Amino acid sequence: MASSSSCRAWYCLLAIFLLSSAALGQLSPSFYDASCPTLQRTVRATVMTALRGERRMGASLLRLHFHDCFVQGCDGSILLDDVGSFVGEKTAFPNVNSVRGYEVIDQIKTNVELLCPGVVSCADIAALAARDGTSLLGGPSWAVPLGRQDSTTASMTEANSDLPAPSLNLDGLTAAFAKKQLSPRDLTALSGAHTIGFSQCQNFRGHIYNDTNIDPAFATLRQRTCPAAAPAGDTNLAPFDVQTPLVFDNAYYRNLVARRGLLHSDQELFNGASQDALVSQYAANRALFASDFVTAMIKMGNLAPPTGAVTQIRRNCRAVNS
């Protein structure tokens, strides 16, 4: 009986330590080394299984983490379902019928809870899944700082206002990233995530029909599956990188130099302005891009919830603990 009480007390002390450390913003790659030593292997194995079923999922998990961090910080708020009067971020314009990977996060959470119940946040799972989705598609890996907590709130308003739109020009993109304490270099490096994955016709229609800073042959190629008149073909997909859409490399930047960026916002990075030189460097030097991408991902991953926000370790990533 005494040993059982001691065990319960030890778990309580551990939970208090984890919560207090995370609340102080002390993110560390070793945060779960004692409390959940198999966490990273579990996440990677689950992501690997998901990618065997659909390699595109690697890009989707990376995007999910980005869309989480740009709204209220990296707090798992994007994972919350609309329930009753609670309105989350999933139906915000940049996310609805677009952001994917929720089921993969659910599966990772289920697998982790079997091993380490009540310990690992959904926000940390999303960050690890983004890293593994990237590296399993040939991109860099990195030590993910951990110790985030999950929000008890979400903000559709902030999702609609703060997630960068594909129609933004360079000034708009720079301002959107600066609002998150991310530099123009971070912007250009993080945009390289578009070396994998796909986008919907409604996001690039204006660029391929109306813009002049686009290779005519590339515009014609994309117009074949993206009709000029909306809403016809709105959800038709096209790869960001037509050469290697499921390999994380630096082809995205070579495409920009060749005026083959899929989105208006993509091509804005190479359009006779401040980021042209960096885009050219990344196009020529994959290692430089990979290094800067990792630096920017860690910096973005450190975006914290607002001061005073109520947080927790959710049992179910889709719902606040009752």
CATH number at residue 233: 1.10.420.10
Each residue's pLDDT tens digit, 53-110: 999 999 999 999 999 999 999 999 999 999 999 999 999 999 999 999 999 999 999 9
| 67, part of any domain | yes
Question: Is residue 67 annotated as part of the catalytic site, yes or no?
Answer: yes
Q: What is the reported pLDDT for 25?
A: 57
* Shared domain check, 36 and 158: yes
pLDDT at 1 over 80: no
Identify whether 110 is part of a domain.
yes
Same domain? For 284 and 308 the reply is no
241 annotated ligand binder: yes
If asked whether residues 288 and 308 sit together in one domain, one would say: no
Domain shared by 131 and 191, yes or no: no
* Domain CATH for 112: 1.10.520.10
Report whether pLDDT(175) > 90. yes
- Average pLDDT of the residues in 256-278: 98
Question: Do 139 and 39 share a structural domain?
Answer: yes
State residue 93's pLDDT score: 95
* pLDDT reading at 12 higher than 50: no
Question: Is residue 195 part of an annotated ligand binding site?
Answer: yes
Q: Which of 65, 67, 207, 264 is catalytic?
A: 67
- Indicate whether 106 and 142 sit together in one domain: yes
Into how many domains does the chain fold? 2
Is 134 a member of any domain?
Answer: yes
Q: Is the pLDDT of residue 13 over 60?
A: no
Whether residue 3 is predicted with pLDDT greater than 70 in this model: the reply is no
Q: Are residues 157 and 211 in the same domain?
A: no
Three-state DSSP string of the chain: CHHHHHHHHHHHHHHHHHHHHHHCCCCECCCCCCCCCCHHHHHHHHHHHHHHHCCCHHHHHHHHHHHHHCCCCCCCHHHCCCECCECCCCCCCCCCCCCCCHHHHHHHHHHHHHHCCCCCCHHHHHHHHHHHHHHHCCCCCCCCCECCCEECCCCHHHHHHHCCCCCCCHHHHHHHHHCCCCCHHHHHHHHHHHHCCEEEHHHHHHHHHHCCCCCHHHHHHHHCCCCCCCCCCCCCEEECCCCCCCCCCCHHHHHHHCCCCCCHHHHCCCCCCCCHHHHHHHHHCHHHHHHHHHHHHHHHHCCCCCCCCCEECCCECCECCC
Mean of the per-residue pLDDT values of the chain: 93
Give the per-residue pLDDT at 26.
Answer: 84
pLDDT digits (tens, 9 = 90+) for 15-31: 444 444 444 458 999 99
pLDDT in tens, 268-305: 999 999 999 999 999 999 999 999 999 999 999 999 99
What is the per-residue pLDDT across 132-155, written as a single tens digit (0 to 9) for each? 999 999 999 999 999 999 999 999
318 lies in some domain: no
Q: What is the pLDDT of residue 322?
A: 87
Q: Which domain holds residue 107?
A: 29-163+303-312
Q: Is residue 10, in this structure, part of any structural domain at all?
A: no
Per-residue confidence band for 5, with pLDDT thresholds at 50, 70 and 90: very low
Does 188 count as an annotated binding residue? no
Does 200 share its domain with 232? yes
Q: Is residue 224 part of a domain?
A: yes
pLDDT at 249: 97
249 is in an annotated binding site: yes
* 200 and 88 together in one domain: no
Q: What is the mean predicted confidence (pLDDT) over 171-178?
A: 98
194 annotated as belonging to a binding site for a ligand: yes
Share of the chain above pLDDT 70, in %: 92
**Residue 181: pLDDT band with limits 50, 70, 90:** very high
The answer to whether 244 is annotated as binding is yes
What confidence score (pLDDT) does residue 23 get? 45
- Known binder of ligand: residue 186? no
Residues 117 and 83 in one domain: yes
Q: Tell me whether residue 157 is annotated as binding.
A: no
Q: Give a yes or no: residue 47 inside a domain.
A: yes
